[in-house]
Structure 1
Amino acid sequence: MDATTLYSIGELSRRTGLPVRTIRFYSDSGVVAPTTRSPAGYRLYDLDALLRLELLRTLRELGMDLATIRRVLDRELSVAEVAAVHADATDVQIRVLQLRRSVLRAVAGGGASPEETKLMHRLTQLSGEERRRLIDDFVEGTFGTADADPAAVAMVRAATPDLPDDPSSEQVAAWVELAELVGDEDFRARMRRAAGRRAGGRPLGIESEAGEELMEFTRQKVSEAVEAGIDPLSDRGAPVVDDLVQRFAEVVARTPDAQFRDWMAQQFEEAHDPQVDRYWRLVWIVNGWQVVPDLVPVYPWLIQALRNGRP
């Protein structure tokens, strides 16, 4: 094969793997023009045309449009320039497909309704910037007042949920639930109160009365029960809470009866808001963070156990 060799459309088709009708289309559109014609009027192509077709086929398989390929073949653009642009575009397509796959897995695993599926798809299709704007709006709407606690704002911003490019189905479901939660005005008020107390480190009245040593013991015992999967309403949970009630009663000089248990539950409920606890749990899931035992909310378990109706 040399520069003087001429090829028919059939020969080009065999060498490039392109159908004859496709080569004819490229020829008619001027992308790969025939070099000359045979005495019988058939199109003939030289080595340059063959090389152009091979490059054209490669670029098409990489997803480039014909107009861009023509500019490359005419040396108006370099292959490197076009490749860089298409690589970026491909990255975007991959992220979209990964999100779509995660949504489908979440739907398949959770039995979502058509309405939930639509919402899940819409929320996950938001760009990273749009997702950040959603959270920024939540932070501004929750803490954007003159009396907002700077420490609370910093704490919430430090734990901004950020859905990864290839999320698990659990992360997708958590993100959708989180997106709905942060748009609720009642939740924003709850978050404002809870975050301010937590960031300011202000202890509950019962925490002050019980003292640091007993509170640390309580967190340890309840955390162990939570990690062991002990139901606060079960017989396994009873000895744990009975022991804690006795210890608190001794410290505050009260009788460990039903009335005292009810008082303890009311005291701990001041620090517990199930929606706020849920928010932080969802943030951990979306960000793929390992749950730190010290941050596992212990009060919900303890409150349930205290409300169990035991004497």
Structure 2
Amino acid sequence: MTTPPLYPIGDVARRTGLSVSAIRFYAEEGVVKPTSHTDGGYRLYDVEAVARLELVRTLRDLGASLEDVRRLLADETSLQDLATTHLVIVERQLRHLKARRAVLRTIVGQETDARRISLMQELVSMSDEDRERLLDEFWNEVTDGLDVHPAFVEHLHGMRPVLPEEPDSEQLQAWIELADMVRDADFRAEVREFFHTAFASPKSTVVTSPEMLAGMEAHRVAQIEARDAERAGVDPDSPEGKEIAGRLLATLARLTAGVTGREPDLGELRRSMTETAPEVDEHARRAATRFGVLLDRYVTLTETISGRPAPDFGDVGASDEWIAAAVSAL
């Protein structure tokens, strides 16, 4: 019967990539003991012991503690359970490293004092619950006492980002900027003043009802269709142009009826669209423009964090001339 080969500690070190002192340490700690000793007391290791030392090195490189390794080799835990535990640790460390990278890139890209560095590290290290709490505090403050439909307040609260589990550097930098923005007292005061001024009308509750919000969205979609048609070279008096004009007129009529409480005169509404924008549409334009000036950066950052394309507030709707021509052709 062939005797299994035994390797002296120097050969084992070369095979495993471990230092001689590390192999001695693992032997003394009872992690991987030598198979036998020479008459002179030198350690000898068989193939199985060498394989166990190679596993020890791999696990230690992956961050496993000595106690974890000892438990695994003693069959007190499985390799899968150990790997699962350390995968969670590694992923957490990776998120922290990405967060630090985002802070460092932000520092490199702009002049930053020590106080702001500490603030950025705090913002990027927030838990999901902390992020939600910060945004709730922001929207609660700017909408407090606002005389609008509750659904509108809920809609505003929904204007928040969703930071993915593995955000990239751009998303983390966007979160730092957004969190810093909503914590700024001046920004909160300005947003609050905008909403309380924009919705000071006695009809604000009606205008912000779910039905009106749905009507505004339908009108916005029709405006985008008109914009795309004009860019595509569609003649306003063509069948397609007239169909889009019909949707613009219909959606605007529903909005006007919602505001006034009565059905509008379609002839008058059509004439107003071919001359100057009707009052409700002009009011919406002014409100949208001011909203864009004030909150377009907030929305852009929100979409960047969530991995969605940012909207262009100044790029909605066809030209007044195209709309007037299309409506005139009805």
**TM-score, with normalisation over the residues of structure 1?**
0.64
Distance in 1, Cα, partners of 2:3 & 2:51:
11
In structure 2, how many angstroms separate the alpha carbons of the residues matched to 1:276 and 1:195? 14
Aligned equivalents of 1:43, 1:22: Cα separation in 2: 13
Count, aligned residues: 251
**Counterpart in 2 of 1:79?**
79
Superposition map of 1:1-311 within 5 A: 4-108=4-108, 110-115=109-114, 116-143=116-143, 149-164=149-164, 165-169=166-170, 171-183=171-183, 184=185, 185-187=188-190, 189-190=192-193, 192-193=195-196, 199-200=208-209, 251=276, 268=286, 272-273=290-291, 274-293=293-312, 295-296=313-314
Q: Distance in 2 between matches of 1:31 and 1:283?
A: 51
TM-align CA RMSD: 4.2
- For residue 30 of structure 2, what is the amino acid of its counterpart? G
SS in 2 for 1:68: helix
Summarize deviations over 1:273-292 as a string: whole Å, max 9, x none. 54334322332333232233
Partner of 1:235: none
Deviation at residue 188 of structure 1 after TM alignment: 5.6
Structure 1 unmatched runs, 5+: 204-211, 225-246, 253-263, 299-311
Q: 1:24 to 1:117 in 2, by over 3 A?
A: same
Instruction: Tell me how far apart the structure 1 counterparts of residues 194 and 172 of structure 2 sit (CA, whole Å).
Output: 22
Paired residue secondary structure (1:161): coil
Q: Does the aligned pair in 2 maintain the 1:13–1:23 contact within 8 Å?
A: yes
- Within 2, Cα distance between the matches of 1:66 and 1:90? 17
Structure 2 residue matching 1:132: 3-state secondary structure? helix
Structure 1 contact 13–20 (Cα < 8 Å) conserved: yes
Q: Give distance in 1, aligned partners of 2:12 and 2:22.
A: 11
Identity of aligned residues (%): 35
**CA spacing shift, 1:73–1:199, aligned 2, 3 Å:** farther
Per-residue CA deviations over 1:143-199 (Å, capped at 9, x if unaligned) read: 466966322233224332123433343x44432232133233514624653796684
Aligned partner of residue 44 in structure 1, secondary structure:
strand
- Indicate the SS of the match to 2:44: strand
- Would the alpha carbon gap of residues 67 and 188 (structure 1) be closer, same or farther in structure 2, given more than 3 Å must change? farther
Deviates more, 1:122-131 or 1:73-82: 122-131
Classify 1:73/1:187 alpha carbon distance in 2 versus 1 (closer, same or farther; 3 Å): farther
Give the unaligned 5+ runs of structure 2. Answer: 213-218, 232-271, 317-330
Between 1:157-166 and 1:25-34, the stretch displaced more is 157-166
Where 1:155 maps in the other structure, the secondary structure is: helix
Give 1:123 shift.
0.9
SS of 1:272's partner is helix
1:48 and 1:270 map into 2 onto residues whose CA distance is: 73
Shift in Å, 1:200:
4.5
Q: Who is 1:260 aligned against?
A: none
Over 3 Å counting, the alpha-carbon distance change for 1:194 and 1:124 in structure 2 is farther
Partners of 1:49 and 1:156 in 2: CA distance = 64
How far apart are 1:134 and its partner, in Å? Answer: 1.9
Q: CA, structure 1 residues 28+187, in 2 after alignment: closer, same or farther (shift >3 Å)?
A: farther
Query: Would the alpha carbon gap of residues 202 and 74 (structure 1) be closer, same or farther in structure 2, given more than 3 Å must change?
Result: closer
The answer (yes or no) to whether the contact 2:35–2:45 under 8 Å persists in 1 is yes
Cα drift, residue 13 of structure 1: 1.2
Distance 2:179 2:87 in 1: 31
| In structure 2, distance between residues paired with 1:199 and 1:283 | 22
CA distance in 2, matches of 1:191, 1:97: 39
Q: Which letter maps to 2:311? A: V
* Structure 2: distance between partners of 1:270 and 1:146: 18
SS of 2:67's equivalent in the other structure is helix
Contact 2:172 2:305 in 1 (8 A): yes
